[in-house]
Structures are given as structure tokens and as C-alpha cells.
Amino acid sequence: MPPRLLLALTLIVSGAVGLGYFLSADNPFRFSWIAGESERESLPRSGTDNTQPKPVPIQPPTTEKQEPSGNAVGFMLASAASQYSQNIRYPTYSIPISEDLASAYSGNRFDPVELPLDGGGQFTVTLEKYRFVQEEDILVAASITGSQVVGPSLDVTLESPESRQALASATLKNESGAPYYEGVIEADAEPGEYRLIVEATIDGKPVRHASTLTIEPDLGEFDGLGDPRVANNDLIIPVHFDTKEPGFYALSAQLYHNGRALAQLQVEKRLDGTTDTLELKAHGSVLAHRKITGKLELRNLQIRRLPTSPGDRTDYGFGPEDGYSFSPPDLDGLTDSPAGDPESEHRAALLQRLADKF
């Protein structure tokens, strides 16, 4: 057989085998670009996430749909009941948190808001936070991507949503070729919700990006911590807050140790001027199984004056940026025992009874 013919036959056979594999369902690299469904091969996010599911174990493959042998919805309800039963080991005033939950519950978060532009670009505005106190500086950053021709600066205005009255304005500048525009506007307005309007001239036409922020009243002053103590399987942390007006207040904070978030703490209390102390409690279930050495920290303190009547606004105040650190008392008396909240236990029992049917 001439070598040229042999080579041609080899190429034909290997091509057929390769095409066959390419079209096989077992080819893991197949046609992901054709698939209509989302099939990103991204890996689960790393970090402190403790809810990342384990991949479902691969079972021996079958080629046909199989008859069900159980109730999948029932299984999911039973699974939720089981998770809920685990959660109520912790009282709602002291729940364990991951870093992601700490970020979610820290309050006052503003994620960048994107506005698509003609031609595929994006006009993005971001702030340090969502809520500001009166007369605080609001740092505004904006970026514009795409092939558009953009002016050298952007205008920013703080506007009342009802009256549309402009309360403050400033210019965002693009310093030394930075890929963003930046500027400061003052939150010099009555408490309430406001529109932040950033206007750019793009391809010769004005484009306005609108987002929302709030200006909060001065609720009072944080005056530090009292002496922490242990009682009834709780580490009690007194927080002094000098209120300007009486009302129902909710205080939340996050307990950290060595830079790691341990628990979200919260308490609700009426403050009427006769007392200025709210007591956060860290339950034994979030502390007893840990080796606590050195200081603990309270971070992301947030106080809310709760609406007295339906329709009233919730007002917000925030603790010192660095939070508070404190030396805990002897924690050896704390135990990792369930919280025992009667209403939650009753709810869990009802859910479990529901789940037991499956």
C-alpha cells in the first residue's frame, strides 16, 4: 500500500473516531456554546461560605426517565424543617454568622448601580453607603465604559423625590486619567429619602443616572460600653446610647474575635430618657465551643428608631467606625446548649410534624 494511501486512510479513520467522540454525550467539552441553558462552568465561590452545597454524588447513568419512588417536595420541606431546627438552637438575638452574612447584616450597604448605554457601554455609580447622617459628606464615584465620547466632568445633584428641588450639587472630576469620576456632595438636607442624579454628556447628549440614598436624623450619641458580664448562659454587653428622643429602638452589632465574625447580636428596647443602656447578649451557643483569648470586638453597630405607628419612617444611626473592643469576663460558665425559645420550638415542632408525613 503506498504510504500516501495509508496516511489518507489513517486520517479518515481517526477523523471519524474523533467526530464520534465529539458528538458523544460523554464528551465533557461539548457544545456548551450551543446550549440554551445557563451552563457556566464556574467553580463555587470560596471564602467562609458554609452553605455551599456538596455536589450531588453521581449515580450510575440511565438512559430513560425513571419512575419516582418518593416525594421530592416533601423531602425539601423535611430538609427545611431540619435546618430550621438547627437554626433555633440559637436565639434570634444571637445568631452565628459567616463573613457573607456579616456583610449582609452589617447594614448600610450600597452596591454599584449600573445603567446600560446605547452600544453596549455601562454608566455605573457607587457610594460608600446607602444611609448618611445630616451634614455628612457623600463621596460619589462614577464610571462610564464603552465607545462613547464622554465629557471631561459629570454633574451630580441631590434632589428631593417629591418636590424635585435640587438641594445640593457638585462636579465629579476625572483626575489624571483615572478610569472613574469622583467628587463630594454634602448631605445638607432634612432626614428622608433622596435621589442622587449624576448627569453625563455622552456623544453630545445628556444621560442621567438616578439612584437613591437616605439622610438620617441625629438620633443621639454612642457612649461606649459598660462592664460585660455573664448571666443565664449569655455574655451580656451593655451599650450606652444617649438618645435625643424617646422611642422604641433596635440595636444590632456583630461580635468579632481575632478578625473573625462570630455572631450577629440584636436587642429591642424602649428608651425614654430614664435609661440609656441597651444590653446585647451573646448566647453560649455561639461562644462556648470557641477558645476565646484576648479581646472581643463589637463592629457595625447600628441603631434604629422603630416606627411607632404604621406609615412612620424607621430612622437609623451608626456606631463608631472602629467599633468597640473589650475584654470579656471569664466565659467558662457558658455552655453550648440550645436556646430554648418556646415559640421557635413550637414552630419547629409544627414544621417537623408536617415533614414527618413524607
Partner 1 sequence: MKTRKRSACKAALAVAITGSLLAGTAHAQLAGHNVILVHGFQQEDLANPPTDLDEVKAAGEDYWRTFWLSRSDARIDWGSDGRVEGNIAQQAYQQMREISQQGLCNDYCIVVSHSTGDLVTRYLLENQARWLQSDGLQPLKILAAIDYSGAGGGTELADLALSIAYNDSWYNWPLKQAVRAFTGITPEPGKLGVVNDLQTNTARNLAVSPNNVPRLRFVAGGSSYGGITKPFIAGTDDGVVPTHSACGATTSNGIDSCSSSLSLAGKVSNQDGPSDLYYNHFPILMNEGVSHSGVLGSETGNISVPVVNDTTLNGLRVDFASRTYNKRAWWQWWGSGDRYIEVPGSDQTDMSTLVYNTLNN
Q: Which of residues 51-80 bind partner 1 (CB under 8 A)?
A: 51-80
Rounded to a whole number of angstroms, the minimum distance from the CB of residue 249 to partner 1 is 11
**291 lies in the site for partner 1, by CB under 8 A:** no
**204 lies in the site for partner 1, by CB under 8 A:** no
Rounded to a whole number of angstroms, the minimum distance from the CB of residue 51 to partner 1 is 6
Question: Between 160 and 199, how does the x/- string for binding to partner 1 read (CB under 8 A)?
Answer: -xx-x----------------------------x-x-x--
Span near partner 1 by CB under 8 A; candidates 8-16, 138-146, 233-241, 349-357: 349-357
**295 contacts 269 by C-beta, under 8 angstroms:** no
Residue 237 neighbours by CB under 8 Å, 6+ apart: 225, 226, 228, 265, 279, 280, 281, 282, 298, 326
For residues 319 and 321, what is the distance between their CA atoms, to the nearest angstrom?
6
**312 lies in the site for partner 1, by CB under 8 A:** yes
**254 contacts 237 by C-beta, under 8 angstroms:** no
Rounded to a whole number of angstroms, the minimum distance from the CB of residue 162 to partner 1 is 6
Kindly state the number of chain residues that form the binding site for partner 1, as judged by CB under 8 A: 117
For residues 126 and 180, what is the distance between their CA atoms, to the nearest angstrom?
11
**100 lies in the site for partner 1, by CB under 8 A:** yes
**277 contacts 267 by C-beta, under 8 angstroms:** no
Question: Between 215 and 254, how does the x/- string for binding to partner 1 read (CB under 8 A)?
Answer: ---------------------------------x-x-x--
Do strands 205-216 and 131-133 pair parallel, antiparallel, or not at all (unpaired)? parallel
SS3 per-residue string spanning 240-290: EEEECCCEEEEEEEEEEECCEEEEEEEEEEEECCCCCEEEEEEEHHHHCCC
Rounded to a whole number of angstroms, the minimum distance from the CB of residue 62 to partner 1 is 6
Rounded to a whole number of angstroms, the minimum distance from the CB of residue 7 to partner 1 is 27
**34 lies in the site for partner 1, by CB under 8 A:** yes
Do strands 181-186 and 205-216 pair parallel, antiparallel, or not at all (unpaired)? unpaired
